[in-house]
A and B are shown apart, each in its own frame.
Chain A
Amino acid sequence: MMKKTICFYFQVHQPDRLRVYRFFDIGKDSHYYDDFANKTILRRVAERCYMPANQLMLDLIRQHKGAFKIAYSISGSALDQFVRYSPEVIDSFKELAKTGCVEFLAETYSHSLSSLISPEEFKEQVIQHSNTIELLFGKKPKVFRNTELIYSDKIGAMVADMGFSAMLTEGAKHILGWKSPNYVYTNAINPRLKLLLKNFNLSDDIAFRFSDRSWAKWPLTSDKYVTWLSNSLEKDEVVNLFMDYETFGEHQSASSGIFQFLKYLPEAILSNSNFEFCTPSEVSVKHQPVAPLHVPFAISWADEERDTSAWLGNELQNEAFNKIYSAEKKVKASNNASLLADFRKLQESDHFYYMCTKFFSDGAVHNYFNPYDTPYEAFINYMNVVSDFLIRVDKTVPEKEVETGTIIAEKTKPKNKSKK
């Protein structure tokens, strides 16, 4: 009989936080980032999470002689910051890559929401990211995970066209209905793309609830957790445990015992001879898909709604989002590396997350990640930055040079305006 599968994937991401950028800086100062905060936070998380967690993973892989396997997706934003502020983290990931038990996934370079608005930009970022991962870790990614596990039929089709064999997304209840997330599914448009669905109950037990003392099942031990896994896998085939890597040591502090839990978990799982660890690409080969999954509207792994409303749920977010993408054609026509770099950094989903008004009701998680007191502050700051950015774009690329139908058709208009 075929063994049951446990599949771990960890997300590694750090945003480029913006500095306090006042409107009187517009047109005068085009450095947008809070280098001090970014450096401090990155080094702190490296010290508390990335370095000790990587070391533990390496030890576990060696201890279990190839039986323990995991996958990472590391955003380009995080990679760039590691190179700048904490290069030892890159080295330790390289060390993990060498074991052959670690798969690196593809995503958009800037942890962006480009899949929701611009197929061109999306593809460019995915290619940029895949190339970087290959360069660093020696293997071209075969499996794709989109920012915040955002997925729809169309996005899946786009990803299939780019040659990926599988994609990760959320096992959202409103999509699955009575179906179980513990099987492999396929994209509804292109059945060649396999879908791995996050088991959010079991994932969030570790990621969100581990140190929650008001949780009825606290404390969570490796043995208790394996019992839950066994229950889930009694009939089903695969449990996908997808979570932020920062769970280990950052969201759940070391003093909560999270590292001890992790240390004994593989052993506890492997003690059941019916279980084995697989990486996402192995899962997609090993398990036969059971059905196509229809997802007409985008889903994600965020909040109760499991949709995109955490980033694009109010008019502030929509306005900011549309403004930054309005510059896409000009930025690309400019061939200007620094404009392109800023364009990408300003697309990071985190900037839009800070403008979310849901946190007035939907609590703690939003506050934890948010450097701003209110969404209004986040919007004001972001729009000041984008205003400066758009001025730079317009200076570099005068209107007429952009070859798009609409703007060429309006060629005569600016003259009329100047007569006014």
Chain B
Amino acid sequence: MFGWEFPPHISGGLGTACFGLTKGLANHGVEVLFVMPSAEGDEDQSSVRIINASEVVVQETVKNVNDFLEKVQFLRVGSNLVPYLDPVQFSNMVTEQKEGQIEDYKHYFGEKYKFSGKYGANLMEEVARYAMVAGEIALKYDFDVIHAHDWLTYLAGVAAKKLTGKPLVVHIHATEFDRSGSNINTEVYELEKLGMKEADMVIAVSNLTRNIVISKYGLHPDKVVTVHNAVDFQGVESMDVSRGIDDKIVTFLGRITFQKGPEYFIEAANKVLKRYPDVRFVMAGSGDLLNRSIRRVAKLGISTRFHFTGFLKGTDVQRMFAYSDVYVMPSVSEPFGISPLEAMRANVPTIISKQSGVAEVLNHAIKVDFWDIDAMADAIYALLSYPAISQMAVRNGFDEVNSLKWDNAAARVADIYATLIKKAKF
């Protein structure tokens, strides 16, 4: 299994999901080798064996460099699309590139490549190197199925498949369209498309994501299955806090970026404040839309009732939930969305956008379209004003999130493995 991060060193939901899934798989008797670009050594290895790609020396296991490159030509992340070339020039260019690739390869031959494992400026380079190391690992270890999580690892997955012929599963936690709306990074898009094309089976974390994969990446519906994420609350304690104020608190918690829909939360807050004065709104998180959000709040003149906390870490997140009377996730596009589950687990009634994968598995969250600020405001108002609805949402919501188990998701993934292994044998 190729991943990019693993708890405790995570920047988002990807690492947590990988952890939950591998734990579930272990319970179903699946042995997982988890390859990640940069492991610190303190990862939870109770149910997986972690392979740190930074520790792997690219060796002569690959007998023939040319042969290797024949199979994994795409390793050099670049573009062949140069305009106005005649056939001779083109063939020269291709040869040049191939030589360049051999050079690249030799350069790192016999060395370790130190991955940052972060999401920095030379991410693309790391992605390519990761794939190279993946090839090495694939030849060294014994396994039945390759499973790659999100675009960063697709190249690695494809490299491993080309070299070993083992079936490849790619797991879509988010697509470029979720991250960037319609202004997508075409390089990332191409990588995603390549991974999905080469994969024997594609797993999407929700039907929402599955539909995007089918419509925007042109995949055959039969090849894409939905396995909803789950959530693991082991070790999460809900806490009691004392408040300094009597006002009710409505919370947004997440990156303040296009994808998360912060502006809709602000507009809905403004509508609620006009009719319900004893309430405060909190936007917790940071992101490229933070400053614009602060300006909008100031312009609406609701700054005394609308607060920004910045990025929250660790127990502060639990504390924020404990403070909240209503939790809102107005995401424009959310492949799954774990945070509403955390809120519900902390007994906070929750409003989620219909454009989230998690809406497919929840009955006891209130669902609105992200753009429908009237409906969002109305739902917030109702949860503040009508005790029966928040009581019911809290009580049933708690039971509901506790029933979402990684074991069930892992069972479906294990089934997919079994089918692929069977097919591969014929």
Give chain B's interface residues, CB within 8 Å of chain A.
Answer: 271, 274-276, 363-364, 366-367, 374-375, 377-379, 381-382, 385-389, 391-393, 396
Cβ contact within 8 Å between A315 and B382: no
Does A165 have its Cβ within 8 Å of any Cβ on chain B? no
Using A26-B275, A384-B378 as known contacts, say yes or no to A374 and B392 having CB atoms under 8 A apart.
no
The residue among B275, B367, B379, B381 with the most chain A CB atoms within 10 A of its own CB is: B381
> What are the residues of chain A within 8 A of B381 when measuring CB–CB?
23, 384
Interface residues on A, range: 20 to 34
Between A and B, 26 residue pairs with Cβ closer than 8 Å are A22-B377, A23-B276, A23-B378, A24-B274, A24-B275, A315-B391, A316-B389, A316-B392, A319-B387, A319-B388, A357-B396, A360-B363, A374-B367, A376-B364, A376-B393, A379-B382, A379-B386, A380-B379, A380-B382, A383-B382, A383-B385, A383-B386, A383-B389, A384-B378, A384-B382, A387-B385
Q: How many Å lie between the Cα of A377 and that of B392 in the bound state?
A: 13
Which chain A residue lies CB-closest to B391? Answer: A315
Cβ contact within 8 Å between A22 and B374: yes
Q: How many Å lie between the Cα of A357 and that of B387 in the bound state?
A: 17
Using A374-B363, A377-B366 as known contacts, say yes or no to A23 and B386 having CB atoms under 8 A apart.
no
* Minimum distance in angstroms from B22 CB to a CB of chain A: 31
Does A227 have its Cβ within 8 Å of any Cβ on chain B? no
Q: How many Å lie between the Cα of A315 and that of B377 in the bound state?
A: 22
> What are the residues of chain B within 8 A of A315 when measuring CB–CB?
388, 391-392
> What are the residues of chain A within 8 A of B396 when measuring CB–CB?
357
> What are the residues of chain A within 8 A of B366 when measuring CB–CB?
374, 376-377, 380
* Minimum distance in angstroms from B219 CB to a CB of chain A: 29
> What are the residues of chain B within 8 A of A383 when measuring CB–CB?
382, 385-386, 389
Q: How many Å lie between the Cα of A317 and that of B192 in the bound state?
A: 48
Cβ contact within 8 Å between A23 and B275: yes
Does A318 have its Cβ within 8 Å of any Cβ on chain B? yes
Q: How many Å lie between the Cα of A82 and that of B284 in the bound state?
A: 54
Cβ contact within 8 Å between B388 and A24: no
> What are the residues of chain A within 8 A of B377 when measuring CB–CB?
22-24
Cβ contact within 8 Å between A316 and B378: no
Using A374-B363, A374-B367, A376-B393 as known contacts, say yes or no to A23 and B385 having CB atoms under 8 A apart.
yes
Produce 1/0 per residue, A355-380, CB < 8 A to B: 00100100000000000011011011
* Minimum distance in angstroms from A164 CB to a CB of chain B: 35
Which chain B residue lies CB-closest to A314? Answer: B392
Q: How many Å lie between the Cα of A376 and that of B275 in the bound state?
A: 21
The residue among A22, A357, A381 with the most chain B CB atoms within 10 A of its own CB is: A22
Which chain A residue lies CB-closest to B384? Answer: A23
Q: How many Å lie between the Cα of A22 and that of B380 in the bound state?
A: 11
Cβ contact within 8 Å between B274 and A380: no
> What are the residues of chain A within 8 A of B386 when measuring CB–CB?
319, 379-380, 383
Q: How many Å lie between the Cα of A380 and that of B374 in the bound state?
A: 12
Q: How many Å lie between the Cα of A379 and that of B275 in the bound state?
A: 19
Q: A22-B374, A22-B375, A23-B275 are in contact. List 17 more A-B contacts (CB 8 A).
A: A23-B377, A23-B382, A24-B271, A314-B392, A315-B391, A319-B386, A319-B387, A319-B388, A319-B389, A357-B363, A360-B363, A379-B382, A379-B388, A380-B379, A381-B378, A383-B389, A384-B382
